[in-house]
Amino acid sequence: MTATRSETQKPLKVSQLHPCFSSGAHNKYGRLHLPVSASCNIQCRFCNRSFNRDEVRPGVASGILPHGEAVDTVRRALDLCPEITVVGIAGPGDTLASGSAINAFRAVHEAYPDLIMCLSTNGLMLPDRAEELADVGVRTVTVTVNAVDPEILEKIVAYIIFEGRRITGRPMGDILTRRQLEGIRKMKALGATVKVNSVLIPGINDAHIGDIARETGEAGADIFNIIPLIPQHEMAHITPPDCAMLQEARNEAGKYVDVFRHCKHCRADACGIPGISDFSGKLYNGREMETFSHG
Ligand code: CLF
Ligand code: SF4
């Protein structure tokens, strides 16, 4: 039998209530994703999302939840799944490329202060928005870090849009890595729990996972999650990692930081207990939601 929020709120810690930050909580508690973030500010070579524009898209894109509907969506999700302890925003674009995620968190945190607000981001804008995120109740943050070596990062990210400029090559790698590590340090200093996600890409970063875990661990990351590549876009020709490669990467990462092994690769509109219940169809009621998520 699963626990309800009212049975479990305090004195349990975030790490005990969050299905993605604790093996013990994984089968007990649920998370709701609000797909409010349409645009992105970088271009990963494995991502071909049509929303992935250089500029913030004006208005409300089809398949995106308007942030003004966030509170009502949370209320309906809790009716469907009272085990939800976490409201996450994980896509389908980057959560800090526009103000939608922070606006949604602000409204939800005010209405439901006991729920954990959880943000997942590529980290480019994290240093600039860290205080604001803490203010709107974000207590868990995931940063996707696919390399900490600019030469390797160049093979994974085509460009970033930073301070109004499109930046490629080595400067891109330097800026993105510096900002990701700085963002992790800032969120830790603000009391957040931080997870790092790495997409495992055979032939590109499979021998580099230990370095990522070491550097992000030194910056303060609490937990590390390895996501096997879904071959798409410029990486459509790459064979995804097999179980042995995934295991090896987890072993390497585990030398430096705790490894999370229960990830369900959720969609950006997921609702329920990961791997156990899924209410997103009922919740979003046939509306076509973008499904990509940074998790
Ligand atoms: Fe969502 Fe991600 Fe927060 Fe969890 S998912 S934003 S940390 S509330 Fe969890 Fe899903 Fe894996 Fe993500 S199982 S994809 S790790
Ligand atoms: Fe942006 Fe995420 Fe796609 Fe990378 S994977 S381009 S961060 S939406």
Please, what are the domains in the chain?
A: 10-284 (3.20.20.70)
DSSP letter, residue 46: T
Is the CB of 138 inside a 6 Å radius of any atom of ligand 1?
Answer: no
**Which residues contact residue 286 at a Cβ distance below 8 angstroms, ignoring those fewer than 6 apart?**
none
Question: Any alpha helices (H) in the chain, and if so which ranges?
Answer: 5-8, 14-17, 23-26, 70-80, 100-111, 126-135, 150-156, 169-189, 209-219, 243-254, 280-284
Instruction: Kindly report the protein residue whose alpha carbon is nearest to atom 8 of ligand 1.
Output: 88
For position 287, what pLDDT does the model report?
64
d(CA 165, CA 191): 32
Q: What's the pLDDT band for 19 if we cut at 50, 70, 90? A: very high
The predicted structure's pLDDT at residue 260: 93
- For residue 53, the model assigns a pLDDT of 39
- Cβ–ligand 1 contact at 85 (below 6 Å): no
Ligand nearest, relative to CA of residue 42: 2
CB of 30 shorter than 6 A to ligand 1: no
Q: How far is the CA of 196 from the centre of ligand 2 (A)?
A: 15
Distance from residue 240's CA to the centre of ligand 2 (Å): 18
| C-alpha 283 – ligand 1 centre gap (Å) | 18
Q: How many angstroms separate the CA atoms of 286 and 151, rounded?
A: 43
pLDDT interval class at 21 (50, 70, 90): confident
Contact 273, 2 (CB under 8 A): yes
What is the pLDDT confidence band of residue 292, given thresholds at 50, 70 and 90?
Answer: low
Between 109 and 269, residue with greater pLDDT: 109
Ligand 1 centroid from CA 57, angstroms: 25
Ligand 2 and 40: CB distance under 6 A? yes
28, 19 in Cβ contact below 8 A? yes
Residue 50: the pLDDT is: 52
Ligand sitting nearest the alpha carbon of 92? 2
| Predicted local confidence at residue 291, as pLDDT | 53
Say what the pLDDT of residue 12 is.
59
The pLDDT of residue 102 is above 90: yes
Mean pLDDT over 29-47 rounds to: 94
Which protein residue's CA is at the shortest distance from atom 8 of ligand 2?
Answer: 93
In the chain, the percentage of residues whose pLDDT exceeds 90 is: 76
